[in-house]
Amino acid sequence: MESNDKLDRIVEARMKLKRRFEEKMVNTPSMSDQLVGPNRARGTGPTNRHGMPQVPVGQTVTTKWPVLDLGYQPAIPLDKWQLNIDGEVNNPVRLKWADFMELPQVEDTSDFHCVTTWSRLDVPWVGVRFMDLAALVDPKGTATHIMCYGYDGYSTNVTLEEALKPDVLLVHTADGQPLTKEHGGPVRMITPQLYAWKGSKWIKRIEFMASNRLGFWEERGYSDTAYPWRNDRYS
């Protein structure tokens, strides 16, 4: 951080986001759906840390890590890597690798649920919280959604109340190793409380938006909302 001023602004932006999205966040299905009753969260296994059955309905646990992409895996050397964060924000940024690695680094272990019915449990990740990136760019009061873009031409949209959850990270390390190219390295996003297509591999741009727009799969019949415990796969 260049100065205390800048740090103060980031802390203030974080508090503002927390106040604005906290209530919406706790009311999202993956936090508010009940374990009993007619509209209960569906799945099996012990309750996870956000109160849902560990394995969502229709999913099978695998220890392998399948690869899904659009048939092209872009190679981005670290000295060419950039992440642009722009749109409905007061302070758009272009981060180079060193800038990204200077941000607070978080270790977290979370589950990965692919819409094609496999789940990989307890993946150890290292990366930067989306929330910290949001505080850095200071979203305008009009911002409601983001669109994430990959270096391969992919895109996917996420509401801010989902993206600001503390387990949403932009990760560069998985299983103690640098994230491989096939899984989206140098950096991908993860969304443990939504199906995994909401996390862009090879992430290159995050656009804050004042209204919703659909991403690549959302335009092609996948669900806009992608709630694993509601079996919310297709629209």
Question: Nearest to ligand MTE by Cβ — which residue?
Answer: 150
Torsion sign, CA atoms 95, 101, 104, 108: positive
Among 152, 161, 218, 232, binds ligand MTE (CB under 6 A): 152
110 binds ligand MTE (CB under 6 A): no
184 binds ligand MTE (CB under 6 A): yes
Pattern of binders to Mo ion over 76-115, x per CB under 5 A?
Answer: --------------------------------------xx
Asked whether 192 and 111 are in contact (CB, 8 A), the reply is yes
Q: Give me the least distance between CB of 110 and ligand MTE, in Å please.
A: 14
Among 112, 130, 149, 197, binds Mo ion (CB under 5 A): 197
CA dist 45 → 53, 57, 59, 80, 115 (Å): 5, 10, 12, 43, 19
C-beta of 131 vs 196, nearer to ligand MTE: 196
Among 43, 127, 150, 186, binds ligand MTE (CB under 6 A): 150
Per CB under 6 A, residues contacting ligand MTE are 65-70, 114, 150, 152, 154, 183-184, 196-197, 199-202
